[in-house]
């Protein structure tokens, strides 16, 4: 059973990559060496997409699974549909940022060198994420591909090739995104605790405030779709986007009120019963997060691939704009969905259960916070790390619980601690400590993974680029 559990997913992945190679090879015939290059780039792009689905999507669906709201199978189905939709409907702008914004190739880099550069970055990122997935380490795919482009670019033409202004903006987003995600998640949980869970009449409070939370989610999703998802058929102004979001807010609010009222009628005034009211908002939040992740992180799989395809037929300098064929987006979208279904359940369980204990409201706060942060980043065209955002939100929820916990209500055991004197033992026996509800070891391990990913993928990409130059 163990061997079959490994052979079947790997075999299906190889079949997917073979189909990609056959399709691209048949579409780009008669180009000589360029045909082989495009086929190789497409296969590596599909390989990268598989790894994104296996590793990075776990950060989106993990909270819902950890909150015991949906099963792993249901999470995989929802994420696969929403990831593909986000990639195909709203992934274009971010692809341009990853493929053309990190480096600024000019006359010092030939078209051939640029192709090898992007190919090296893509392969290095895929290999690094594959290793991390085997080790059950949720790392940032955005870090991996940005580090790969950075390392290969420096190997190709030195540090002058790198667009350090864009790199600084991306690096700043890596720091801001987890902090912002943690703050939003903590604020949402604080609001839920203060207005719903910690009041005398929880049922009446839930009838009043849960529809508001659902409406806020509806407004956020509507605003994003108006700005990005529907731009091919509708290009609204800022006022139109605001009005569309406002209309969606009221539509979601008035449609959810009877649903919540009906659910409340069959519940008791207990916290565990109130938790069940957040199941549907959490599922919607997870779907929204997956859609945003597909729109944002498809760039990591097909950004360099789109850059390589854009150079076909060129002999001079690299073009200033990247044309993104539909098949490139399809490879990224389908690869992410397939990687999630074949390899994602393992890391979904790790993210959802290892850092802190989640229930439905806490998981809802994590999902909505991560969704809002990713949507803002996608709107700005910045390839932020969904790993940082989701993990930051989980830590924000956990640390808020620690901070708001009443130390006189629950007491931690002092543990197996040897005191220096008997007086110290008697003094420490009555000490009430604040409960630690976040596993501290994950702070160091996750931080180490975030720090290592960029230089490791950069060094690997530089090595691959040097090898390609020798061929």
Q: What confidence tens digit (pLDDT) does each residue in 91-150 have? A: 665 556 555 566 665 556 677 788 888 899 999 999 999 988 887 777 888 788 888 888
Average pLDDT over every residue of 400-406: 74
Asked if residues 117 and 103 have their Cβ atoms less than 8 Å apart, the reply is: yes
Q: What average pLDDT does range 379-396 have in this prediction?
A: 75
Mean pLDDT value across the chain:
79
The predicted model scores a pTM of: 0.78
Round the CA-based radius of gyration of the chain to a whole number and report it. 24
β-bridge mates for residue 356, sequence order = 438
pLDDT digits (tens, 9 = 90+) for 420-452: 666 666 565 544 444 566 777 777 777 777 778
Tell me, what DSSP letter sits at residue 400? H
Report the pLDDT value the prediction gives residue 461, as an integer from 0 to 100.
Answer: 93
The answer to whether residue 414 scores a pLDDT higher than 50 is no
The candidate with the shortest Cα–Cα distance to 63, out of 353, 272, 343, is 353
Asked if residue 412 has pLDDT above 50, the reply is no
pLDDT at 123: 93
Greatest pairwise CA separation for the chain in angstroms: 87
Question: pLDDT value at position 411?
Answer: 46
Helix runs in 31-163, H state only: 33-55, 58-66, 72-90, 92-100, 111-134, 141-157
What's residue 379's pLDDT? 67
Least confident of 154-168, 227-241, 353-367: 227-241
**Residues 162/103, Cβ–Cβ less than 8 Å:** yes
- Check if the beta carbon of residue 127 is closer than 8 Å to that of residue 460: yes
pLDDT at 431: 46
Mean pLDDT, residues 152-176: 75
Query: Mean pLDDT over residues 339-368, rounded?
Result: 82
Q: Decide if pLDDT at 71 tops 50.
A: yes
96/87: higher pLDDT: 87
- 10 Å CB burial of residue 319 (0-12, 13-18, 19+) is middle
Residue 7 has phi, psi (to 5 degrees) of -65, -45
CB 314 within 8 A of CB 111: yes
Residue 62 has pLDDT above 90, yes or no: no
- For residue 25, what pLDDT is reported? 86
Q: Where are the domains of the chain?
A: 2-172+287-356+451-470
Torsion angle in degrees (nearest 10) through CA of 119, 122, 125, 127:
-70
Q: What is the pLDDT of residue 211?
A: 92
pLDDT in tens, 323-344: 677 788 888 888 888 888 888 8
């Amino acid at each position: 059973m163990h061997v079959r559990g490994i052979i079947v997913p790997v075999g299906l992945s190889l079949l997917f990559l073979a189909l990609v190679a056959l399709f691209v090879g048949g579409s780009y015939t008669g180009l000589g060496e360029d045909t082989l290059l495009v086929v190789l780039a497409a296969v590596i792009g599909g390989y990268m997409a598989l790894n994104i689905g296996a590793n990075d999507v776990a950060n989106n669906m993990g909270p819902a699974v950890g909150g015991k709201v949906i099963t792993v199978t249901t999470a995989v189905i929802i994420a696969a549909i929403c990831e593909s939709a986000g990639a195909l409907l709203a992934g274009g702008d971010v692809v341009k940022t990853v493929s053309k914004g990190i480096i600024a190739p000019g006359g010092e880099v030939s078209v051939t060198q640029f192709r090898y550069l992007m190919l090296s970055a893509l392969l290095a990122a895929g290999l690094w994420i594959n290793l991390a997935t085997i080790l059950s380490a949720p790392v940032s795919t955005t870090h991996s591909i940005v580090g790969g482009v950075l390392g290969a670019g420096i190997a190709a033409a030195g540090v002058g090739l790198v667009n350090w202004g864009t790199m600084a903006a991306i690096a700043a987003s890596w720091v801001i995104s987890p902090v912002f995600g943690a703050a939003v998640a903590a604020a949402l949980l604080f609001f839920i605790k203060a207005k719903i869970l910690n009041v005398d009449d929880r049922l009446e409070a839930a009838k009043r405030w849960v529809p508001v939370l659902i409406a806020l989610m509806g407004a956020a999703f509507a605003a994003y779709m108006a700005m990005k998802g529907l731009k091919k058929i509708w290009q609204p102004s800022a006022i139109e986007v605001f009005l569309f979001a406002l209309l969606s807010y009221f539509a979601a609010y008035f449609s959810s009120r009877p649903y919540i009222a009906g659910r409340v009628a069959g519940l008791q005034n207990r916290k565990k019963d109130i938790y069940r009211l957040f199941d549907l908002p959490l599922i919607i939040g997870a779907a929204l997060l997956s859609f945003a992740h597909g729109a944002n992180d498809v760039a990591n799989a097909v950004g360099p691939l789109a850059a390589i395809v854009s150079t076909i037929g060129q002999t001079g300098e690299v073009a200033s704009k990247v044309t993104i064929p539909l098949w490139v987006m399809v490879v990224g979208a389908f690869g992410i969905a397939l990687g999630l279904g074949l390899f994602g359940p393992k890391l979904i369980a790790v993210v959802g259960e290892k850092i802190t204990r989640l229930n439905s409201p806490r998981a809802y706060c994590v999902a909505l916070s991560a969704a809002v942060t990713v949507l803002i980043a996608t709107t700005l065209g910045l390839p932020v790390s969904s790993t940082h955002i989701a993990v930051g939100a989980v830590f924000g929820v956990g640390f808020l619980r620690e901070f708001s916990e009443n130390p006189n209500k629950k007491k931690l055991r002092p543990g197996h601690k040897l005191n220096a004197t008997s007086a110290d033992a008697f003094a420490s026996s009555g000490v009430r400590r604040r409960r630690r509800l976040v596993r501290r070891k994950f702070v160091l391990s996750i931080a180490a993974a975030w720090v290592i990913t960029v230089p490791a993928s950069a060094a690997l990409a530089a090595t691959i680029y040097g090898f390609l130059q020798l061929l």
